[in-house]
Chain A
Amino acid sequence: MRLPNLLPPLYRPTPQQPGLEPRPPFPPLPATAPGLPSAPVVFQPGQPVGFFTDTTLCIGCKACEVACNQWNQLPAWHGGQNTLSGNSYDNTRQLDGTHWRHVKFIEQFDGDRRSTGRWLLMSDVCKHCVQAGCLEVCPTGAIIRTEFDTVVIQADACNGCRYCVTACPFDVIEINPVTNTAQKCTLCYDRLQVGLTPACAQACPTASIQFGPIQELRRRADQRVAELRAQNVPAYIYGDESMLGGLNAFFLLVDKPEVYGLPSNPRLPSRNQLPSWLWSGLSAVVVGLIGLLSFRKRRMDDLAAARPAGREQAPGPQPGPGKGVPQ
């Protein structure tokens, strides 16, 4: 006996329609590729290290998030509430003070949600920019660059002013409600110091997150891009040296940065600083001139008013003793 299909229309398998070909899956990483969890990563202090995240290999398992939360002892709850996002299978929603890794689920479906569609999955993280806006503006010196060229917030020095939250072009940083300090991915600084791979890269089952020396990662990324492009996948690297001096956590993407919630042209906050100070200075000069000229005008009015009265020698009230200020 055939049971009735109780699934809502969205989840029913749809018959293949003419002209609507399913998108081919991204080619897998060759089994011999370096960067797989079993491959040892060799690095030394003083050597820039980072992440290369190949989004075409991410399966959205969120193992990286779990490993990150577990190692860094981050609370699993979202700001005290374990709520569902209600608009996606992704309930982490964003990077913030308690989510240092976030697997984004990007759903690209046609309007009818039946024909072509795909999921883009991306494990997002702090980019550890070579030119880091957060580090630049931090007024307490709590944000430092480590010997591994990563960017770390020292929780014991941060006073929670939140300037870094506004300065980050990637919307990565937020106040951790437990420590009341700004927090983000440290690229597992404590693990790096003892030669361990960061927890997320260690846990990633598909080698979507690859950890290692930046030079090696960039070489590997270029190789992967070439491989994908040969198969007509529009892959490219987001975060090369032209972007903020290079992102030490960079990504292989197959769609526009905005689709992944990334800025296409991230910039340092300091770009506005000099013009802003200069315009402020000009405004201060104008304010001073307005004050000066207004009182000057009053002085001239006093003089003009005094002349008809025949007060040639003492125009207007005299300045007080000790003033001696030219008017």
Chain B
Amino acid sequence: MIRYNAAHWDWLVYLEMFVAGVAAGAYATATLLELFGRGRSPLARVAQLIPFPLMVLAGLLLTVDLARPERFWHMILQSETLRPMLKPWSPMSVGSWLVLLFPVFAFVSFVDALIGRGVFALGGWNQRQTLHGTLTGLLWAVVGSLLALAVASYSGVLLSTTNFGGWSDSPFIGALYVATAAVTGLGAVLLIGALTRQADAEDVVGLLRVGTGLICWQALVLAVFLLTLGLNGWAVFLSGISLLALLGAIVIGIVIPLVVRLAGRSLQPGTTALFAVLVLVGGFLLRYAIVIAPQASARIPGAS
């Protein structure tokens, strides 16, 4: 069936999906470093500064994308009764709550990281006594990471839970989004760590090893996604600008970073930054391809 009505989920939407994915991945990376990093990992503290601002940006992008942005709160509260509005069977409703809750965790971690840097103090919450490294801090980070991964996946689940050819042809978009979010979040942490030179070398080595594994997982899920699309899905994704973006995502975000990792075993800040930039660009191209492809294939009104 030819679709005439496009969803008009354009750059605001795929940018939001990318930004929220990076935020979620960065938070998960920070938690990983907090759990397994060297002592009070400075890179973990850098990583904790990333998610909150990005989630604020993601929330703004989502709000601006609404046709009636002033009614954004209708996602959370029923407009007439002001009771909570939650439909567990609607991925967008679940996602709205996730996008509201995850920044709470990201905000506390963000503030904790700032306090840890001595930017300011809140009573007993000061530079010498932060959440980082404590059991409470770890529990907070783990729960926050679970929410982060849910944030990463919900938009993919949302796309699959439609009747839009391409999106609804495979249930693997959410799984792919989780993998991409983890890779790009880790890339953002590595990049900022390299730029600020606050990364412990062994943490970087550990993250690069994680990154390699995540890229392989991303490649596997992407392959499964493409294989399960079927003829209709292939027609949607394997043509035009979407095909170019998909190829770009594979080459820039998967193949070259793996080559960089295999070729450049010696740890150079430039290599790490290059690795990080490549996976970020690849992740963005993948989001772009997935969001745009089905809409580009919908027939434009008025065209023959």
Contacts and interface: CB of A to CB of B under 8 A. Distances in A.
A283 interface: yes
B174 interface: yes
6 tightest A-B CB contacts, nearest first: A160-B67, A320-B39, A280-B174, A280-B153, A159-B71, A295-B36
B125 interface: no
Contact of B89 (A136, A174, A180, A297): A136
B91 A161 contact: no
A180 B67 contact: yes
Given A181-B67, A269-B163, A284 B4 contact: no
Contacts of A96: 4-5, 301
A137 interface: yes
Interface string A158-182: 1111110111110101110000111
Interface of A: 78-79, 83, 85-87, 93-96, 133, 136-142, 156-163, 165-169, 171, 173-175, 180-182, 258, 261-263, 266-267, 269-270, 272-273, 275-277, 279-284, 286-288, 290-299, 317-325, 327
Q: How large is the interface on B (under 10, 10 to 19, 20 to 34, 35 or more residues)?
A: 35 or more
A113 B272 CA distance: 66
Given A162-B7, A180-B68, A286-B179, 4 more contacts: A167-B162, A286-B217, A291-B28, A319-B39
Contacts, number: 223
Contacts of A321: 133
Contact of A139 (B67, B75, B138, B175): B75
B206 A142 contact: no
A94 B4 contact: yes
Contacts of A78: 301-302
23 contacts: A86-B302, A133-B163, A136-B90, A137-B92, A140-B74, A159-B68, A159-B69, A159-B75, A165-B6, A166-B7, A166-B164, A168-B163, A175-B67, A261-B2, A269-B162, A270-B89, A272-B168, A273-B161, A276-B157, A277-B153, A283-B217, A291-B29, A291-B32
